[in-house]
Amino acid sequence: MGSFKTYVFILALHLLEGVLSNSLIQLDNNGYEGIVIAIDPNVPEDEMLIQQLKDMVTQASPYLFEATEKRFYFKSVAILIPEKWKAKPEYMRPKLETLNNADVLVVQRNPAGNDGPYTEQIGNCGEKGERIYFTPNFLAGKKENEYGPQGRAFVHEWAHLRWGVFNEYNDKEKFYLSNGRNQPVKCSGTITGEPKREVCQGGSCVTRPCRPDRVTGKFEEDCEFVPHAHQTEKASIMFSQKIDSVVQFCTEQNHNKEAPNMQNQKCNLRSTWAVISDSEDFKKTTPMTTKPPTPTFSLLQIGQRIVCLVLDKSGSMATGGRLNRLNQAGKLFLLQTVEQGSWAGMVAFDSTAYIRSELIQIRSSSDRDVLIRSLPTAATGGTSICSGLRAAFTVIRKKYPTDGSEIVLLTDGEDNTISSCFNEVKQSGAIIHTVALGPSAAKELEELSKMTGGLQTYASDQVQNNGLIDAFSALSSGNGAPSMRSVQLESKGLTLQNKEWMNGTVIIDSTVGNDTLFLVTWTTQIPQILLWDPSGKKQDGFLVDTQSKVAYLQVPGTAKVGIWNYSMQASSQTLTLTVTSRSPDATLPPITVTSKMNKDTGKFPSPMIVYASIRQGAAPILRASVTALIESVNGKTVSLELLDNGAGADATKNDGVYSRYFTAYDTNGRYSLKVRALGGIQAARARGILQKSGAMYIPGWIKDGKVEWNPPRPESNKNNLQGKQVCFSRTSSGGSFVASNVPVAPIADLFPPCQITDLEAKLHGNKFINLSWTAPGDDYDHGRAHKYIIRVSTSILDLRDKFENALQVNTTGLIPKDANSQEVFVFEPENITFENGTDLFIAVQAVDKVNLKSEISNIARVSLFVPPQTPPETLSTSVPFPEISINSTIPGIHILKIMWKWIGELHLSLGSN
């Protein structure tokens, strides 16, 4: 126990650094400890899986140690075992470890049957990933021929997770033209292999050499780079750790900067080792002179949830109906959010603490009613947060250790003594979720959630925003199976006058419907409430609590799938509606929305980033309509459309993670985040998982001059956008953050356009280059940039390092569009050699109206390939032919005009002046 207490003290320092991360990983000298590997509750029980995980980490540690020049190794790992698996004496109760903060998750294969390991990365170069995914088949060694030993693959994924590097291969473009010759996308360039195709017909397969296309010069799409089984090159792990000789990351000396892979695109052509060397981990360590110890493991089994509400009842809670709103939110939590079988207790506090309820196991509605009746109803006295926390520890310890228990702490008051119990909190091992209510809640409140890995939320006094209920609704168990968690479908409020109506719809989709609750609150008197199910049947039976001003309907059985309609009428008061539900099937994961900011503190003028991940199980939900609502302590709410377009703040297109920059600071203090997501006609569940960051699937090996092909990889990437259409509605609380350094209005423009990250270039004919990219804004990805600077070079490094000196393309006629629009620009390069075999590199920079410049875009390339001449053929008069004219009125650029002429047929203009 003593070693864990020391670990908690170290953890607290880490969690106060400002970057928002659920991970408990710590770097102690050179050893990583606090790594959490969780087994998903839906994985069938298999005791061998635990040993396989131990073996993987044990094998990975010395490989990581040598690959990082004796800097890092794996020191300690916790394996989180599902609650339903058979209990054993060596299995301990988790402390701060949960499914939510797991660094590695073992899951069943995705729907496409793909067992490939991968890492979820939602940030940019150098930013930590979210988590690593493995499957039981992979861990059992059944995919070793394709991905290599499990320990080596773990190191590949660890580099994604911990240091924010990217793959050095490219599944979509396996070869590229360089000086007119096809080159494989690989790193380093001295890895040997051959371009081959496997052609199968009638159950028989043969190996063929790859042939270049006569028009483009590129190899066929099904051409594979097949490595030789015997290699001597030591790099690179981010290309293929499967190759036996590979034991290093690519360095600046051997990095292939021209290869069109994610590492070059995301990291500005820098090598993986250069990125790792810039990490905080690297900067605070030195190489070891001794051999690292073998990793140690703790086996933790998820148990029953233990949660204690610690609720402020001080005199300030009488302001603006806060105590009543606490009762409304508490009622939702106890009726719906806290799971069946959990243990729950309650403490209220003012200047002293009062135990309102000892721990009760929730087995029935009567148990929930006992707790609801314990909610405080009178507000008096001062504020002593530490008294409330100490009373909660007492309540929990009467039945269980505080390790791994949860405390939900709500307060609206200032308390300058809160730091006096920080040590007790750290020692307790409890997870503390904080809810700051109103503008005056204790400034140090969030430190409690940061040091324990809890959720921090903020609710303003703007009742119509429903912030307090949203905060309590977000407090589902971090260890519960997704099918058991309460899912919020709707959260809406409105102030009505003169018998006005609040009308709307809620979608109950097929992934929810069980235990569905409609909850209505009001501020003065009960409104008229009308609700109809999808068949048009009016729903009666709302239970009314006039004291706490709340009415609710629990739909019996499974709610009908479809659109539910509601209408509520009132005068001179504010109404809110909250709808929650659960999955009707333990094997069917519901569609969920998980939202967060990239940091828990924002310092002006640094932008924040909003993220919303929409999933059904592991499958991403695409083309949803997603809106973030960010409310400041002043009550001002900013609405942002979040996008999954791979531009601006969004790192990867079509991965189910929707993102946007936030720059609209208006004051210092707390801000809350709420996300609304709607799936309609366009929304769909992707068939497979887009494994953008994962170990490469080796197609085969060349042994003794003969290709030995591996089985074809399951096609999870093809047609992955053609998944089943889904209609749904969700809301999600993304917690809160604190802004500082915000100047008094008017605020000067200090935000440049965001970097263009999706620049693409294609050749038209042998002269013209077609560029396309997503438009940035005036302020990152908002508004409209003032102009673009486009430069070209035959040297990729000169373009990167000496952009200002590179040849500039005339863009006089190019007027930027609104942010997130598609830009297209066609030009003919001039004053630069552009002949057969020439590689030309292009980059774009955006400039705003006050001359703030974006970072230089990713570098796009074109390679001029002139097909060999063939004997001329006599064209039939029925074949269409182009009339091409060049407008040369703008120096340095030619605008291409093509008109296909075919009497009575199509007239198409590709460009005009």
Positions marked active-site? 157
Neighbours of 193 (CB within 10 A): 18
The span from the CA of 302 to the CA of 362, in Å, is 18
The span from the CA of 847 to the CA of 775, in Å, is 12
Token pair recorded at residue 338: 């806290």
Q: Judge whether 422 and 401 are in contact, CB under 8 Å.
A: no
Residue with tokens 């919020």: 488
Q: Judge whether 237 and 156 are in contact, CB under 8 Å.
A: yes
The span from the CA of 219 to the CA of 183, in Å, is 10
Rounded to 5°, the CA angle 263-264-268 comes to 115
As a whole number of Å, the end-to-end CA separation of the chain is 75
The span from the CA of 125 to the CA of 437, in Å, is 36
Q: Judge whether 165 and 265 are in contact, CB under 8 Å.
A: no
- Judging by beta carbons within 10 Å of its beta carbon (0-12, 13-18, 19+), is residue 215 exposed, middle or buried? exposed
Dihedral class, residue 529 (left if φ above 0, else alpha if ψ from -120 to 50, else beta): beta
Mind giving me the DSSP string for 193-230?
EEEEEEEEETTEEEEEE--B-TTT-PBPTT-EEEEBSS
Q: H/E/C letters for each residue in 480-522?
A: CCHHHCCEEEEEEEEEECCCEEEEEEEEECCCCCEEEEEEEEC
Q: Judge whether 325 and 425 are in contact, CB under 8 Å.
A: no
Contacts of 813 (CB under 8 A, 6+ apart): 890, 893, 895, 913
The span from the CA of 316 to the CA of 350, in Å, is 10
Pick from 254, 104, 261: nearest CA to 172: 261
Q: Judge whether 689 and 114 are in contact, CB under 8 Å.
A: yes
- Judging by beta carbons within 10 Å of its beta carbon (0-12, 13-18, 19+), is residue 240 exposed, middle or buried? buried
**Residues linked to residue 675 through DSSP beta bridges, in sequence order:** 628, 732
Instruction: Give 3-state DSSP helix, strand, coil % of the chain, rounded to 5.
Output: 20, 35, 50
Pick from 67, 66, 136: nearest CA to 105: 136
The span from the CA of 676 to the CA of 641, in Å, is 10
Sheet architecture: strand order including 224-227? 204-209, 193-201, 224-227
- Report the Cα 296 to chain-centroid distance in Å: 30
Q: Judge whether 192 and 240 are in contact, CB under 8 Å.
A: no
Pick from 471, 451, 450: nearest CA to 459: 471
**C-alpha gyration radius of the chain:** 30
Dmax (CA) of the chain = 98
Backbone angles phi, psi at 644, to 5 degrees: -115, 55
Pick from 506, 521, 831: nearest CA to 678: 506
- Give the CA count within 13 Å in the CB-facing half-sphere of 732: 23
The span from the CA of 175 to the CA of 193, in Å, is 13
